[in-house]
Structure 1
C-alpha cells in the first residue's frame, strides 16, 4: 500500500514562502539507498542532487506553498500550526494512501496527528518530532520542500537585484536588507512577513526613529 511523508521548509523565516513537500512511495528502500536525511544536515549541492533522485524514486510527490503575504493574512485568524496543518492536508490529498508520516510542529504529537487525520478522511497519521530524522519518506519530503524554497529565495534576490540572504531572522544579510528598504521607502519590501515579531520590532525601531529625527 502507498504511504506518504510530509515536511515543511520556511516556517521561521521573516522573508519568503512557507513550503510543504509530500512524497508518496510503496517502499522506501530506494530512498534509503539515495541516503536521504533531514535536509538541514545536507549541503545545498547535495540537496539539489537528491531532488531529482527522489522524484524518480517516488510514486508521486506534491508541493504546496504560501507566500509571505498569504501567511500574514491567515495569521490574523489562525495559528501557524493550524496553517501548517491545512497545508499538510492539501499536500497529501493527491493520491490515496494507507498512512501518512509527518514532522510534527506542535508540542502535542497525538493531538496534531488526530486533527490532521480528521482532515484527510481519517487516514492514519504518525506525527512525530524530528520525523525527518526517523522516516526516510519524511526526509525526502523535507528535501523537496527545502530545495523548492531555496530556489524561490534565489528568484527573489534576482527580482530585487541584490542578495536578500536566506530569509531567516538570524541571517544578518536578510535583516540588513529589510532595514535598508525600511529606511529608504518607509515600508518593508515585498515577500516580507509583516506579522513576525522580528519585523514588527524593526519597523517600530526604525520608523519611530525616522519620525523623531524629523
Structure 2
C-alpha cells in the first residue's frame, strides 16, 4: 500500500501550482522490488542539500529522508514487486509504479516532473520527462532519495528474512558475492526470474 503524507492542506497550498517530482530506485538489481516515489515540495520550506541520491552518501540520504518527509507538502512511495516485474517487465513495472505513486499523493499535482526520457501513459496529471532530472530538479531529487532509502531499508529487512544472500550489503545488485550465493542457495521468492543471470541459471536447471 502507498505511504501517504498527512500534512494538512492550507488555502495557500490549494491555490499554488503544485509540482511533483517522480523517481525510482532499483531498476537494475536481480532481487527485490523497484521503489517509486513522488514528492511535492513546499516552496516556503526549501531543503538544503538535495541531489541525485546516487551522488549522496548513505549517511547524507538518511539525514535528508526525515526532512523530506516532514517538510514536503505531500509524498508517496510505492514498491513494485519482483513478481510483477517478471510478469510485465521492468520498464512497464516502473511506469506503473510512477502512476501509482502520483495517485497516492494526498493532493493531485498540476504537473509531474519525471526523471528520464519517457512518460507513463496513465499519469493522473500533466507530465514532463527530464533526462538527468534527479540532479536538476529538487522535487525529483527528493523523490530519488525517498525511493532509494525506502528500498535500501526494505532490502536490509529482507536480509533477515532470507539470510545468506547478502541483501543488506549489495541490496540485490548482481555483485560477485550475490551471484555466488544465488548459485549456492537458489533463488528466494524475491529474485527476479526474468533477469539474467537468474533466468540463465533457471533455464539451465541449475537452481532446481
Do they superpose with TM above 0.5?
Answer: yes
* TM-score bin (small chain): 0.7 to 0.9
Q: Distance in 1 between matches of 2:109 and 2:44?
A: 14
Q: Secondary structure at the match of 1:207?
A: coil
Residue 54 of structure 2: aligned partner: 40
Asked whether the equivalents of residues 36 and 140 of structure 1 are also in contact (C-alpha less than 8 Å), the reply is yes
Q: Distance in 1 between matches of 2:197 and 2:76?
A: 31
The answer on 1:85 being equivalent to 2:85 is no
Q: 1:177 to 1:86 in 2, by over 3 A?
A: same
Q: 1:161 to 1:133 in 2, by over 3 A?
A: same
Residue 54 of structure 1: aligned partner: 68
The structure richer in helix per residue is: 1
TM-score, length of structure 2 as denominator length: 0.82
Structure 2: tracts of 5 or more residues without a match = 1-16
Root-mean-square deviation (CA, aligned residues, Å) is: 2.0
Asked whether the equivalents of residues 166 and 174 of structure 1 are also in contact (C-alpha less than 8 Å), the reply is no
Structure 1: tracts of 5 or more residues without a match = 183-187
The count of residues paired between Structure 1 and Structure 2 equals 187
- Larger Rg belongs to: 1
Mapping 1:32-181, distance limit 5 Å: 33=48, 35-75=49-89, 80-93=90-103, 94=105, 95-104=107-116, 109=117, 112-113=118-119, 116=120, 119-121=122-124, 123-162=125-164, 163-164=166-167, 165-169=170-174, 171-181=175-185
Asked whether the equivalents of residues 115 and 129 of structure 2 are also in contact (C-alpha less than 8 Å), the reply is yes
Task: Measure how far apart 1:57 and its partner are.
Answer: 1.6
Residue 40 of structure 2: aligned partner: 24
Q: Secondary structure at the match of 2:46?
A: helix
TM-score, length of structure 1 as denominator length: 0.80
